[in-house]
A and B are shown apart, each in its own frame.
Chain A
Amino acid sequence: MARVLVVDDDESIRDFVSLALSEEGYEVMTAAHGAAALNLLGESQPDLILLDMRMPTMDGWEFSRIYRSAPGPHAPIVVLTAARDVTGRATQVQAEACLGKPFDVDELLDLVGRYRR
């Protein structure tokens, strides 16, 4: 069983991703922005972080900077973005992989599956 943290400001995307993953047996945590995600990370460590970039309050860039500067093991980050330059965004935050919106359920599950323990 693996734990996935989904960080996205769009509620319906959070719903869709957590539904798709939980049906496959993942344990899913969700946060509406970076700051909320950092709060959750204080409680439990995910195995993978799915991160949106453009979010109010704290965006993806800020989140990953703070997350990586914190001590301890770091979960791989997969960027979910609607931006044109998807891989560019991934590189900016040193993400393991990226997924451009809109994406298919199969694509999402394939990608997350690769990081299953």
Chain B
Amino acid sequence: MDGTLPGSHGVADRPAVQETTRRGVRLSWPYPRGVRSTQIALLLTVLVPMLMLQAAVYYSWFQTHRDAELESNLELARAVASTFEAHVQDVLHQELTIGLALTSHGNLPIEQGKILTESISQYPAIRSYNWLSPQGQILASTDSSIAGSNLSSRPYFLEIVRGREWVVSDMLPDLSSGDPIIAVARAARDENGALRGVVLATVDPALLGSAVVIQRTGKASFGLFDRQGMLVYRSPETPSWDERERIGHDPSVLKALAGEESTALVAGPGGKGRFAARVPIPSIGWAAGASRSANEVMGPVATELATYAGLSLLVSLAATVAALAVGRRLTGPLDRLRAHAVAIGEGDFGRAVEASGPAELVDLAVAFDRMSKEVRIREENLRKSGEGLRFLADASNVLAASLDYETTLTSIAHLSVPRIADWCVVDLPAEDDAPRRVAAVHVDPVCQGTLRGLIAHPIGSANPDDPVTRVLRSGRPELVADVPDELLVQIAGEEKLVASYRVLGLVSLMVVPLVVRGRTFGTILFASGKSGRRYDAEDLALVELLARRAALAMDNSKLYGEVQESVRMRDEFFSVAAHELKTPITSLRGFAQLAVRQLDKAGELDPVRARQALQVIDEQSRKLSNLVTQLLDVSRLEAGRLSLRKVTIDLVSLVESVVQATRTSAGPLALTLRAPSPVSASVDSLRLEQVVTNLIDNAIKYSPDGGEIEVTVNAPDEDTARIIVRDHGVGIPREKRSRIFDRFYQAHSESYYGGMGLGLYISREIVILHGGKIEVEFPEDGGTRFVVSLPREIEDGAADSLDVAELL
């Protein structure tokens, strides 16, 4: 479990801390964090008090048993004490009797001996009876060997002499045998209290059992201690001398000799513990004791307790093991989940979560697996969109770097390979709408040549139904995730090109239109080959964004070019206008100054010279005036302030007057008017004159080598009038035809035909204001043909008749 990952211990170390911190409850060290430590803590909190309680119960049980035992020992000791005391009283009583008998029956030793011998058989423990003189001499004895001995120095005798009625001696050696005995002495006194003699019984302690008959339980033993603490008697075993000495000096014995009952655990034979009780026998000054082997007493209890304790420990152990097993069942899957989470954190999505353990954990594992898959998908998306954004950012930089149309497109193609495509081509429709390849980039430099070679055969030129052509037509992007072989053949168009496309590789392709303001002006094709990449909708969305930006950038560069061009044209116009204005001023001032010079020199002006000067002044100022009018017209047109004052007139007569007026400047040119019948129309006659004059002037100007100029006026239908000016002059170069009506534009500016390049512009605007149109045609045999079409806008027949009347 632990150790699946080095250095990580505990099931939920870090997560737990983070989790709790997030909730704002910081739990510090003693709080168990892991499942296992929590379990152990729980077990400890349950088991330890339980075991302690049990121990306490056992201890008190033990205590009770011990107390009971001690108490029973005490009882036994008391019984021993009282029995022994009673026995001593019996002996003393007998001695009293003996004493009375001896003192009343004279002092004959034989009689005395007889009395003593009669008495002795009554108590088996009494070894001998003796009759002592007040001086301590044995006068008579049941033991003849000791008769005549003097016992006056014995302590008990001294006590008697000092006035005590009776004395039980400590243990002392028998006079004749040397066996241990005790002496029970009683004084025999006369009426006056004078000592007449002492009755002395010697008692064999070993035989005390017959005197002290006690009912006892089990192996209890009891004994008697003399005043010196010597163990005098013990039942059932007679003690050795060693024991007599040792046991008697036990503190509990001394305590009892001092008059106090006590209980104690004392050391028995072999060092084994014994429960002992000691009680004093105050009348004698001795002590009685009872004891029992602790082992014997507590053994069964201990066994019982041990059984119970063992059982409860066993149960506790089983509980612990069970709990740990359950914990393991929890922590195992949890550990696997954690390891999995760590792996995901490190970016390893490869593993599948093993779903095992309790149902909740299985659910968790399944949910985790789902989450991990989701995370993986999101990460992938994030990575993709990040790449996409980087790509778009790079593309934006490239697009911003240049205002040149085709440079920009080539850069985009380079940028797309190999990030988006293995190869990329950009096609723009040329003037005649045929696709023109402006950029082609292949990831493999070797294939680059092949791709370039295909420029002569752009995709789409061969088949009107291939993707590029379709996109050019529809303006909608296309995605072919898998290019089937038929499509490859179709795209290649020609059999011999199929091999080339196979070399390039074509697995998947996307074609996006370059669209600005709803107009598709080109396509970018992204193709994958050797990389085997298959495009999807997201890729298409990305390149669509790219194409949109590229299209905008291209539109910008186009607009920029147009602005540049219009600035250049304006500059050119100012230069031309200045030139045009300065030329008449030069002649004006020149002739005026010449006239002044002549006046200064000659004092008068030659009439011929004066006329010439004034004529030049008139002509040139008229030229100036026309130029200024043109400028004003342009200004008005641009401000939208040029208004028409329409009246219904005959166009034929209007055109005729213009032809007449310009014929002088036409010089050797043949200027003819064809107007089969009057054509009335509602027009601003001054403005229309301006248009016709301009067209005829242009025709003259651009026919430097002569040629016929034909002016035609007719009405192709009831509603339309037409004025046609046809020349056979220099014509207009093909590439400039589309711009001749532009403001400031001079198709022949480099040839200096004069004029400001405003005439056709103004003419067209005037015609448009009339609701008509002006068109230019370029006949096969050279020159130009301007056709002005005007709506006639006649209310009814009245206008016609009016014009006819005017003509007449």
Chain B residues with CB under 8 Å of A55's CB are 752
CB contact list, B488-528 vs A, under 8 A: none
Contact of B752 among A9, A20, A106 (CB under 8 A): A9
Which A residues lie within 8 Å of B585 (CB)?
101-102
The verdict on A101 contacting B597 (CB below 8 Å), with A57-B704, A84-B578 known, is: no
Q: How far is the CA of A10 from the CA of B587 in the complex (A)?
A: 9
Q: A105 interface residue, CB < 8 Å from B?
A: yes
Q: Which of A11-19, A37-45, A68-76 contacts B (4 or more CB under 8 A)?
A: A11-19
Within 8 A of A (CB), among B648-707: 704
Is A56 positioned at the interface, with any CB of B under 8 Å from its CB?
yes
Whether a CB of chain A sits under 8 angstroms from the CB of B26 is no
- Interface pair B586/A105, CB less than 8 Å apart: no
Q: Is B620 at the interface (CB under 8 A from chain A)? A: yes
Bound-state CA distance A57–B705 (Å) is: 10
A4 to B583, CA, bound (A): 20
Closest approach, in angstroms, between the C-beta of A53 and any C-beta of chain B?
8
**Other-chain residue from A12, A15, A23, A102 in contact with B582 (beta carbon distance below 8 A):** A102
Interface of chain A residues 16 through 31 with chain B (CB within 8 A) = 16-17, 19-20, 23
**Bound state CA distance, A101 and B588, in angstroms?**
11
Give the size category of B's interface with A. Answer: 20 to 34
B590 at the interface (CB under 8 A from A): yes
B34: min CB distance to chain A, Å: 92
Q: Which of B579, B584, B590, B704 contacts A17 (CB 8 A)?
A: B590
A16–B590 CB distance below 8 A:
yes
Assess whether A82 is in contact with B587, with CB atoms less than 8 Å apart.
no
Closest chain-A Cβ to B664's Cβ sits at a distance in Å of 13
B751 touches A105 (CB 8 A): no
Contact B590 A56 (CB under 8 A): no
**Contacting pair A83 B594 (CB below 8 A):** no
Size of the chain A interface, CB-CB below 8 angstroms: 24
Given the interface pairs A57-B704, A59-B752, A84-B578, the reply to whether A15 lies near B616 with Cβ below 8 Å is yes
Contact at B594–A19, with CB atoms within 8 Å?
A: yes
CB neighbours (8 Å) of A15 from chain B are: 587, 612, 616
Query: B582 near A82 (CB under 8 angstroms)?
Result: yes
Give the number of residue pairs across the A-B interface with Cβ within 8 Å.
70
State in angstroms the CA–CA spacing of A23 and B157 once bound together: 203
A9-B752, A83-B579, A102-B589 as given contacts; A16 in contact with B594, CB under 8 Å? yes
> Are A105 and B752 in contact, CB atoms less than 8 angstroms apart?
no
Q: Can you list, as one digit per residue, whether each of B588-627 has a CB less than 8 Å from chain A (1) or not (0)? A: 1111011001000000000000001000100110000000
Whether A12 contacts B589 by the Cβ 8 Å rule is no
> Which residue of B582, B612, B752 has the most chain A CB atoms within 10 A of its CB atom?
B752
- Check if A115 is an interface residue, CB within 8 A of chain B: no
A98 to chain B, nearest CB (A): 14
Within 8 A of B (CB), among A53-69: 54-57, 59
* B150, CB-defined interface residue at 8 Å: no
Q: Given known contacts A9-B752, A20-B594, is B583 in contact with A82 (CB within 8 Å)?
A: yes
Q: Which residues of A contact B578 (CB under 8 A)?
A: 82-84
Q: Which of B556-586 contact A (CB under 8 A)?
A: 575, 578-579, 582-586
CA distance A84 to B597 in the complex (A): 28
For the complex formed, measure the closest distance between the CB of B574 and the CB atoms of chain A, giving whole angstroms: 9
Residue of A nearest to B702 (CB): A56
Does the CB pair B589–A104 fall under 8 Å? yes
The 22 sampled A-B contact pairs (Cβ below 8 Å) are: A9-B754, A10-B583, A10-B587, A12-B584, A12-B587, A12-B619, A13-B590, A15-B612, A17-B590, A19-B594, A20-B590, A23-B594, A54-B752, A56-B752, A57-B704, A82-B583, A84-B578, A101-B585, A102-B585, A102-B586, A104-B589, A105-B590
Known: A9-B752, A10-B583. 6 other contacts (CB 8 A): A16-B590, A17-B590, A56-B753, A83-B575, A102-B588, A102-B589
- B residues within 8 Å of A by Cβ? 575, 578-579, 582-591, 593-594, 597, 612, 616, 619-620, 704, 751-754
